[in-house]
């Protein structure tokens, strides 16, 4: 048992080093380490740039997080000393976080009042109710990745160890995307976040086929609808009203009288038919070039708010999978897309630092970590 635990611990550090060294050139990768007391060290003279020395350094110091950046390749030695880059490459990364919907970012349909989307939890905390937002975000990101022709095997979903998720893509094409291409991908996803603006924009572009926009909006709507329909079929509209942020959706579409209108709906329809009633009321099927309030609300509540710099900037560093989140003290874990969707407390695994050994871990936690190692190995194509 003791042996198992120290093996798990050592394998985790090996995984971090394998990602830094993905192309056998760890020395070309920009990276930094963060101690468990949150001291950030990027200085090349202090953190070894050699695989074996780095492993020893992590094992001996109170390192909690490793942050990874781009690979820099130079044409010749002179350039490497004079800041003239030959070429850079980096994984394509997306960052979604529940705290992005905590703060005053989203307005109601009239654009006058800020919406409080998360009512059940705040900050670091999350529960199955607010995690619905991450679920919806994951499905929408997956939709756009398939539109971009990105293979699922190149996508690594990483639970941050707190209340967010990273999607890291390492296909050959993604690694070689330049700044402008990354910006285009970000803009495309952002553009569809507000259907009214999307349609307005399409109409302003001379000769632009707004039919394409409508098709994307409908695709995304259908993804979101599946999640909501599933919840309502099981628990009824009242569940959304009482326990989740979906109250805001009801509020805006019930013209400020959600309680009264909900009561009428509950008396007249079974759980299974309550969602169909909502859809029919808002004539979703007949949607043409003007999105109805139900569609608009669903986008407002469930569309991903991406951390722009993470996706755009080549120079931006991201927390490496298997880092220990210094906010929560929990291990960041690569998981399957389905595990991310069904997130629960089992995946909150507390570890002080990467130094180990992690004697306090249970058998189940060791199994989870080893499963994460396997997921990452497959993704690294080892
Ligand atoms: Zn919650």
pLDDT in tens, 322-379: 999 999 999 999 999 999 999 999 999 999 999 988 989 999 999 999 999 999 999 9
**Near ion ligand 1, which residues have CB within 5 Å?**
120-121, 127, 129-130
- Residues of the domain holding 264: 95-153+179-302
- Same domain for 140 and 61, yes or no, is no
Dump pLDDT digits (tens) for 121-141.
Answer: 877 788 887 888 899 999 999
Dump pLDDT digits (tens) for 245-287.
Answer: 556 666 666 666 767 777 888 888 888 888 888 777 766 544 5
Ligand 1 geometric centre to CA of 306 (Å):
20
For residue 170, being part of any structural domain is answered with no
Q: Which of 274, 302, 330 is the last residue of a domain?
A: 302
For residue 169, being part of any structural domain is answered with no
Q: Is the per-residue pLDDT at 2 higher than 60?
A: no
Ligand 1 geometric centre to CA of 57 (Å):
38
Ligand 1 geometric centre to CA of 245 (Å):
9
CB 240 within 8 A of CB 247: yes
- Measured CA to CA in angstroms, residue 339 lies from 158, 332, 375 at distances of 10, 13, 11
Q: Which of 249, 273, 302 is the last residue of a domain?
A: 302
Q: Is the per-residue pLDDT at 103 higher than 60?
A: no
Ligand 1 geometric centre to CA of 164 (Å):
13
pTM of the predicted model as reported, rounded to 2 decimal places? 0.89
For residue 111 the two structure tokens come to 């654009």
Ligand 1 geometric centre to CA of 304 (Å):
17
- Same domain for 285 and 314, yes or no, is no
CB 198 within 8 A of CB 191: yes
Ligand 1 geometric centre to CA of 122 (Å):
7
Q: What is the mean pLDDT of residues 129-154?
A: 94
Distance CA 305, CA 245 (A): 16
pLDDT of residue 66: 97
- Same domain for 208 and 68, yes or no, is no
């Amino acid at each position: 048992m003791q042996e198992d635990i120290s093996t798990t611990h050592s394998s985790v550090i090996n995984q971090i080093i394998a990602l830094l060294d993905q192309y056998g050139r760890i020395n070309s990768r920009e990276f930094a380490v963060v101690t468990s007391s949150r001291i950030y060290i990027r200085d090349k003279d202090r953190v070894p740039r050699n695989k074996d020395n780095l492993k020893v350094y992590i094992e001996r110091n109170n390192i909690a997080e490793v942050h990874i950046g781009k690979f820099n390749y130079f044409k010749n030695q002179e350039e490497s000393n004079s800041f003239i880059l030959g070429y850079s490459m980096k994984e394509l990364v997306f960052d979604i976080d529940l705290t992005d919907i905590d703060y005053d970012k989203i307005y109601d349909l009239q654009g006058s009042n800020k919406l409080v989307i998360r009512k059940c939890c705040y900050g670091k905390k999350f529960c199955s109710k607010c995690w619905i937002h991450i679920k919806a975000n994951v499905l929408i990101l997956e939709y756009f990745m398939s539109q971009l022709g990105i293979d699922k095997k190149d996508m690594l979903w990483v639970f941050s160890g707190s209340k967010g998720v990273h999607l890291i893509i390492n296909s050959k094409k993604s690694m070689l995307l330049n700044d402008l291409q990354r910006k285009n991908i970000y803009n495309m996803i952002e553009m569809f976040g507000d259907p009214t603006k999307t349609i307005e924009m399409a109409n302003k572009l001379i000769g632009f086929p707004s039919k394409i926009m409508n098709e994307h909006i409908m695709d995304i709507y259908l993804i979101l609808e599946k999640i909501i329909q599933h919840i309502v079929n099981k628990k009824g509209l009242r569940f959304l009203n009482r326990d989740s942020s979906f109250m805001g959706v009801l509020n805006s579409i019930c013209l400020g009288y959600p309680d009264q209108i909900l009561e009428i709906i509950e008396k007249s329809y079974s759980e299974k038919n309550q969602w169909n009633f909502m859809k029919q009321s808002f004539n979703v099927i007949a949607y043409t070039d003007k999105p109805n309030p139900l569609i608009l609300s669903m986008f407002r509540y469930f569309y991903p708010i991406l951390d722009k710099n993470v996706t755009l900037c080549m120079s931006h560093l991201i927390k490496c999978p298997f880092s220990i989140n210094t906010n929560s003290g929990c291990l960041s874990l690569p998981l399957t897309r389905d595990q991310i969707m069904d997130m629960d407390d089992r995946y909150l695994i507390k570890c002080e630092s990467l130094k180990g050994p992690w004697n306090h871990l249970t058998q189940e936690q060791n199994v989870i970590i080893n499963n994460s190692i396997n997921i990452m190995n497959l993704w690294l194509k080892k």
